[in-house]
Amino acid sequence: MNCFDPNSTPEPGKPVLLVVAVALVDVDGRVLLAQRPEGKSLAGLWEFPGGKVHEGESPEYALVRELREELGIETAGSCLAPFTFASHSYESFHLLMPLYVCRVWEGTPRPLEGQKLAWARPNDMGQYPMPPADKPLVAMLRDLL
Ligand SMILES: Nc1nc2c([nH]c(=O)n2[C@H]2C[C@H](O)[C@@H](COP(=O)(O)OP(=O)(O)OP(=O)(O)O)O2)c(=O)[nH]1
Ligand SMILES: [Mg+2]
């Protein structure tokens, strides 16, 4: 496909939402995915753990906090390697989502917010329906891992 498609340029005027996410990679090269619970937007889709950056937070601080809240694991900013980002226009906002890679943490990820968890090999991630913003990220992870 030709990249020069004028319709692919998002319209101005939507708020930009900053969300941080992480590919937690285990010793076998598998990546942790979490299924968005019922009642949330994009419910049922599989995502990288993470969430919104709150006012006054750095992206790394927000991600360490989200991993503690959602999965009960501890990591540190220095264990978060910037990898790539998603920039995707949803109906009511534009998502800007840095994706980090993390291989070092303490504890075992547990589903503390009622979400399902799965360790997926990059080549198997096609079996996990993900939000549209995540598709290019999965392709890049396949190349990395
Ligand atoms: N964490 C995460 N969010 C994603 C991914 N892909 C994607 O489009 N999103 C979108 C879905 C949501 O619109 C937004 C994340 O917002 P959220 O509501 O889950 O944030 P949060 O964890 O802070 O949750 P909450 O406390 O506000 O309920 O980013 C992804 O891979 N991981
Ligand atoms: Mg979240």
With cut-offs at 50, 70 and 90, classify the pLDDT of residue 7.
confident
Q: Answer yes or no: is 60 within a domain.
A: yes
Residue nearest to atom 19 of ligand 1 (CA): 51
In a domain, 5, yes or no: no
**What's the 126 CA to ligand 1 centre distance in angstroms?**
20
> Quick one: CA dihedral 77, 80, 84, 86, positive or negative?
negative
CA 86 to centroid of ligand 1, rounded, Å: 12
pLDDT of residue 140: 95
Q: Tell me the per-residue pLDDT of 37-52, one tens digit each, with 9 for 90 and over.
A: 988 889 999 999 999 9
- What residue's CA is closest to ligand 1, atom 13? 41
Each residue's pLDDT tens digit, 51-72: 999 999 999 999 999 999 999 9
Residue 2, in any domain of the structure: no
Determine whether the shortest distance from the Cβ of 133 to ligand 1 is under 6 A.
yes
| Domain membership flag for residue 4 | no
pTM of the model as a whole: 0.94
Chain position carrying tokens 């840095």:
98
ipTM of the complex: 0.95
How many domains does the structure of the chain reveal? Answer: 1
Q: For residue 86, what is the domain's CATH number?
A: 3.90.79.10
CA distance 76 to 64: 6
User: C-alpha angle 134/65/27, rounded to 5°?
Assistant: 60
48 CB near ligand 1 (under 6 Å): yes
Indicate whether 129 belongs to any domain: yes
Q: Is residue 96 part of a domain?
A: yes
The residue that leads in pLDDT, 83 or 41, is: 83
Domain that holds residue 129: 14-144
Q: Which residue, 100, 104, 82, 93, is CA-closest to 18?
A: 93
Q: What is the average per-residue pLDDT within 11-40? A: 94
